Amino acid sequence: MSSSAQPPVVHGLRGWRPLALWPLGLLMRMWGRSLHFHASPETIRRLSKTDQPVAFTLWHNRLFITAEVFRRYRQGRSVYGLVSPSKDGAWLEAFFSLVGIRAVRGSSNKLGREAVTALVEVMKSGHDIGITPDGPRGPIYEFKAGGLIVARRVQAPLLLVGCAYESSWQFKSWDRFHLPHPFSSLRIYCMEVPSDELADRDACSRMLQERLREMSPDYVIKMTVV
């Protein structure tokens, strides 16, 4: 009996199921386009710089803005996100495709070998990848070192992205997910971290955690109040 682990079964959607998500995808695209983005000239320059693939890095509760940031500032670029091979992941992959995000199917548990290989190939092909370093289950605002594996292997920079919402609904999920109110305003922050600063994994994780937290005013306010 072989001791090697069997690869996970990758589930997909068939028949009418992808069509069932189409109205939701349209709503999300219209919702994103209704938002008023504000950013400094330097942030816009960093977001618009597309001469090499980057690891687009933001907290899990800011995921809503990803597709719209790419549509506005990284035109012509594709972003790939890691999605579970499960049945739930199949629905998420279909939804991502409707809002402009492509999926790499694989386990996010400590970034398994297959997932890392697939993401590395995506970046070597010239595409960006999306990383939520506190996902998929938290703890919130804690940068897991596994999020650095792919960028270090490809020697690609990290593009740290944060935002402050003028008004939003905040869910009672583990990540306190933010859903901005339609037609509301938000301010985008961005910082590029070159690949040569990623050598020391543990020290770099702590540094990146602090930088991303600084881009999350709700975290700063929470810690100040406490």
DSSP state string for 9-25:
P-----TTHHHHTHHHH
Q: Summarize pLDDT for 111-150 with one digit per residue, the tens.
A: 567 788 889 999 999 999 999 999 888 899 999 887 788 9
118 vs 132: CA distance, rounded Å? 17
- Residue 64's SS3 state is helix
Mean pLDDT for the stretch of residues 88-104: 81
Contact 35, 180 (CB under 8 A): yes
Task: Please give the backbone phi and psi of residue 129, each rounded to the nearest 5 degrees, phi first.
Answer: -120, 155
Task: Measure the CA–CA gap between 76 and 162, rounded to whole angstroms.
Answer: 22
Res 1: pLDDT: 42
169: helix, strand or coil: strand
Lowest-confidence pick of 69-73, 81-85, 126-130, 187-191: 81-85
**Tokens, residue 102:** 């492509």
Residues 204-221 pLDDT 10s: 999 999 999 999 888 754
Half-sphere exposure of 140 (CA within 13 A, CB side): 13
Q: Which residues contact 107 (CB under 8 A, 6 or more apart)?
A: 8, 84, 85, 114, 115
Averaged pLDDT, 77-81? 90
Reduce the DSSP state of residue 111 to 3 states and report it.
Answer: coil
CA distance 183 to 10: 37
User: What's the mean per-residue pLDDT of the chain?
Assistant: 86
* 163 pLDDT above the threshold of 50: yes
Per-domain boundaries in the chain:
37-225
Q: What are phi and psi of 9, to 5 degrees?
A: -75, 125
Three-state secondary structure call for residue 212: helix
Confidence at residue 109, expressed as pLDDT on a 0 to 100 scale:
62
Are 11 and 105 contacting, i.e. CB atoms less than 8 angstroms apart? no
Query: How high is the pLDDT of residue 4?
Result: 52
